Chain A
Amino acid sequence: ESTSVYSGSVDGSLYLTKNQKEKLRMTMPMTLSFCYMALLWLREPITLSELLRFVVEGHIPYLNIFQHFPEKMKLCGLDLKIFCVESWPVYEEVFNKMHELAAFLDLPRFPDITDSCFLHPDMLCMKYLMEANLPDELHNWTCRVVKKIGIGEVDFLTLMPGNKSTRKVKYDVLAAAVIVVVLKLLFLLDDHYEWLLSEFAEERNKNNTEGGPYFEFKKWYEVVKHSLDMEQKKLDEERAKYLWRCEKPLFYSVKNKSKVLKRRQMVVNLQNQFGKLSGSVRRAEKPNPSSFQLSWSEENTDGSCFHGHSLKGILQEKCGLLRAMNPDYWLCTVKLCNEKLCGHLAHYREVEFPQSYHFVLGLFSFLLRIQPSYIHDEVCMIEHKLFNKKLCKKLKYNTVLRK
């Protein structure tokens, strides 16, 4: 094979020189921004966190993409820096670049996200409630919160590229945060009240003659924590076993081709030798992509599914309406930070929060594969919208509010 075949791209080195006037340079993560942008435009029923999870699970070509290039396109030299992927795509990066891209392309207002769309918080809340094994009845509450603070409005949810005044919506994170706020509204989550309430519900369950059992926080916590821990452990092992290379090796130049091929051969030999000694057979086929990472079946007789449980155990009737027994609420933060300056609305790590709050954030953090601090930011944002009037009265820091 002649050397000219291995010259790689014509402008690879130019592409990578640092003094680029345009900050928007096509990279592998940016291709995902493109994909997400298209999916959003088409209002496909898939969130960004799901998309990235599918990428990491190998259902979407991304890692070692050059395997799928036409024969004529041979990567060489600096192309490797562009096309070689050695890290998982990061939600924030893909998200931010998508918006930059939409503005750069001068796109008009995206198609409306209405309440019949998958990405609408009412829909996503339903999905996440199911996945978190929470009672269906909580959906009424999430819808109420969504309506009250106006985050179900079409103008709030629909993307208007280039509009810097509106906050960009992370549909998946937003929905998760709504659920967290609802849990705080009903259970307080201060490491005391939710357990007391649970005991109360347990008592009421003993005399419960109606069909479905009352929801008990303690039981839910035990079941979900157990599954979560198991899944997290599996995930941790998969991270350690993650394979980055493929059969087709890349060489920087013709000179190191033989060395690279030798190494590849050695790697394959060792993988075969130790693979045989591994005991269990590695799955030959990847399992199909699944929208749900945790699933709970009502058919299980062990009572591990809480979808049909009733909230009556923790609600009280007043004037014909069911209201939460919990009269209190604690704010995650009294004052929101300037997101543009420090990147966050609030600082999750620097404050001590109740363990139950950590747990709930951790659950959604696992499902969405993002840092809990991002969900925390959305929770703060929602709380501030929800308690807007009360906050204007300038209450003392860390005061518990009466609803």
Chain B
Amino acid sequence: SSHEHKLNFKKSKEACLSYIQDALLQKQWKRAAEFLTCYVESLEKDYSREHIGPSEKIWRIGTEILWHHSQSSMKEFNCFMEQMKTLGVKRYLKVCLEHVFHLLCNGQIDEAYQNLSLAESWRFGEQTALQDKEMKLIQAYRGLLDYYSWSKQKNILLEHAEDGFSDLAVEQEMHGYFRKAAVNLKEIIKIPGIWDVFVKCYVDLLEFYGDHNEACQVLNEYAYNSKFPANPNAHVYLYQFLKRQGESKKSLVSALKILHDIVPSHELMIDFNTMLQKSKKRKKRRLGLEVIFAALDYAGWKENAKAWSCLARQVKQIVISEKHLDWIKQEWNSRKDWWPAFHFSRYLAKRNWQENKSLSYEKALVAGILLGKDCKYFKYVSHQGCKAQLKRFRMMKKFVNRHNPVYLRISG
């Protein structure tokens, strides 16, 4: 290959960036620093036509190097950040915010708070309005730190209460932090976005001060307002809140129903199925079966004994009652082609038996019902279980044998 022998400013800096990129990807911080040293003179050249200018590149690259380099101190890092803040007024608040994140990662909460306060008071003509989003975030994070302080004060207060005395000063401080935190947290969650941490903290505050209505409203907004991006966590938070408040089963079920729709593999599906199985309403029990089958479609659940026990319990109950066998048939219809290989192979029978006897027990029961007593999984596990003289395996074997005709009705 022939090499280019010409060189100009722009090309040499492009090459320089390429070397920096390689060094960063390979975590060679010294080498990256070496090339960055050569790159910085780009600041003296006009790059106004480029989408991302050298000052932004230097900020991002320099941050990475200083954060990871073994000989770099927090002092150096902060000094660099201050320089970067002066470099681009259009990025000022963004740089401030990212600096705050680094301080928080380093455990410097007070410094982070100071930086946030300073950034909040920044004004720069029309830039202030243009950087409105960043400003809201800065206020939100200050609110978060205020919540953190509130939380500390609350714990002190509770400790003192345990010891039998009250502390007015601490209480006052605590209320002060609450007010500051609430104001800012409330603002940010109005804007459509993913604000899990802010929502959780705000709700915690509201619950503590007994404003359950407001908390419920906030959570409902967060979960159901279509302007907000779809967020399974929103439904989880709502469900957990309703549970804490001792709300009716109906509202709990409706909260979890949506979660099932968007994340059928969510860990709360076990709770959901348990709740639904117990319901007196036929529709709910039907849904419960659907929920647990859907969860077990996912590889992450293959070895979850609890989930299998839920399915086993419900399937067993249906078989005994001899009512609603068509439910099982419906669920099994779309799964009979692949579940056998996915869950009930002979290899898995051996492995499950070796690693987790309870898991194999539950699965064998299900397999026996769905695939009949001649299925590999059931045969192997029940044989092993009986050989080991474990009573429940013997019972399970008897049960499956007795109800074998059911299998024929399901599979037919």
User: Is the pair A267, B44 in contact by a Cβ cutoff of 8 Å?
Assistant: yes
Is the CB of A240 closer than 8 A to any CB of chain B?
yes
Q: Tell whether, in the assembled complex, residue A273 and residue B80 are in contact, meaning their CB atoms are under 8 Å apart.
A: yes
Query: For the complex, is A264 an interface residue (Cβ under 8 Å from B)?
Result: yes
Q: Is the beta-carbon distance between A87 and B9 smaller than 8 angstroms?
A: yes
Choose from B15, B76, B87 the contact partner of A266 (Cβ within 8 Å).
B87
A222 interfacial by beta-carbon distance below 8 Å: no
B15 adjacent to A240 (CB under 8 Å): yes
The contact of B8 among A87, A365, A373, by CB within 8 Å, is A87
Q: Are A232 and B3 in contact (CB under 8 A)?
A: yes
> A279 near B: Cβ within 8 Å?
yes
Task: Write out, one digit per residue, whether chain A residues 95-137 have a CB within 8 A of any chain B CB (1) or not (0).
Answer: 0000000000000000000000000000000000000000000
B16 touches A371 (CB 8 A): no
Does any Cβ of A come within 8 Å of B147's Cβ? Answer: no
Q: Mark out the residues of chain B between 198 and 241 whose CB falls within 8 Å of any chain A CB in the assembled complex.
A: none
Asked if B3 and A88 make an inter-chain contact with CB atoms under 8 angstroms apart, the answer reads no
A260 to B37 CA separation, bound complex (whole angstroms):
19
Q: Residues 361-378 of chain A: 1 if any B CB is under 8 Å from the residue's CB, otherwise 0?
A: 110011001111100000
Q: Which of A86, A242, A271, A370 has the most CB of B within 10 A?
A: A242
Chain A residues with CB under 8 Å of B1's CB are 362
Contact B2 A372 (CB under 8 A): yes
Is B330 at the interface (CB under 8 A from chain A)?
no
How far, in Å, is B82 (CB) from chain A's closest CB? 11
Stretch from B28-36, B337-345, B347-355 at the A interface = B28-36
Chain A, residue nearest B66 (CB): A277
The interface bits of chain A over 263-303 (1 if a CB of B lies within 8 angstroms of the residue's CB, else 0) are: 11011011101111111100000000000000000000000
Least Cβ distance of A250 to chain B in Å? Answer: 9
Given A244-B12, A266-B43, A271-B37, verify A277-B6 contact (CB < 8 Å). Answer: no
Q: What are the interface flags for A69-112 relative to B under an 8 Å C-beta threshold, 1 for contact and 0 otherwise? A: 00000000000000000111011000000000000000000000
Within 8 A of B (CB), among A212-252: 232, 235-237, 239-245, 249
B280 within 8 A of A: no
CB of B83 within 8 A of CB of A269, answer yes
> Which residue on chain B has the smallest CB distance to residue A241?
B38
Q: For A263, what are the chain B residues with a Cβ–Cβ distance below 8 Å?
A: 43-44
In the complex the two chains form, is A274's CB within 8 Å of B37's CB? yes
Closest B residue to A56 using CB positions = B7
Q: Are the CB atoms of A369 and B5 closer together than 8 Å?
A: yes
**Among A240, A277, A369, contact of B33 (Cβ-Cβ < 8 Å):** A277
Whether the Cβ atoms of A240 and B18 lie closer than 8 Å is: yes
CA distance A123 to B141 in the complex (A): 75
Q: Which residues of B contact A365 (CB under 8 A)?
A: 2-3, 5
Closest residue on chain B to residue A249 by CB atoms:
B44
B34 touches A279 (CB 8 A): yes
Cα separation A269 to B304 with both chains bound (whole Å): 58
A49 and chain B: residue at smallest CB distance:
B5
A249 / chain B contacts, CB cutoff of 8 Å: 44
**Cβ-based interface call for B289 (8 A):** no
Which residues on B sit within 8 Å (CB–CB) of A232?
3
Cross-chain contact of A240 among B5, B19, B69 (Cβ < 8 A): B19
What chain A residues lie within 8 Å of B83 (beta carbons)?
266, 269-270
Query: Is the Cβ of A270 less than 8 Å from the Cβ of B58?
Result: yes
Q: Which A residues form the contact surface with B (CB < 8 A)?
A: 56, 86-88, 90-91, 232, 235-237, 239-245, 249, 260, 263-264, 266-267, 269-271, 273-280, 358, 361-362, 365-366, 369-373
Additional A-B contact list (18), CB under 8 Å, known A263-B43, A370-B5: A88-B6, A232-B3, A236-B3, A240-B15, A240-B19, A240-B35, A260-B44, A266-B86, A270-B40, A274-B34, A276-B71, A277-B66, A278-B30, A278-B31, A278-B34, A280-B30, A280-B34, A358-B2
A-B contact pairs, 29 of them (CB 8 A): A86-B9, A87-B6, A91-B5, A236-B15, A239-B7, A239-B12, A240-B18, A241-B34, A241-B38, A244-B9, A249-B44, A273-B80, A274-B33, A274-B34, A274-B37, A274-B65, A277-B29, A277-B66, A277-B72, A278-B31, A279-B33, A279-B34, A358-B2, A362-B2, A362-B3, A365-B2, A365-B5, A366-B3, A369-B5
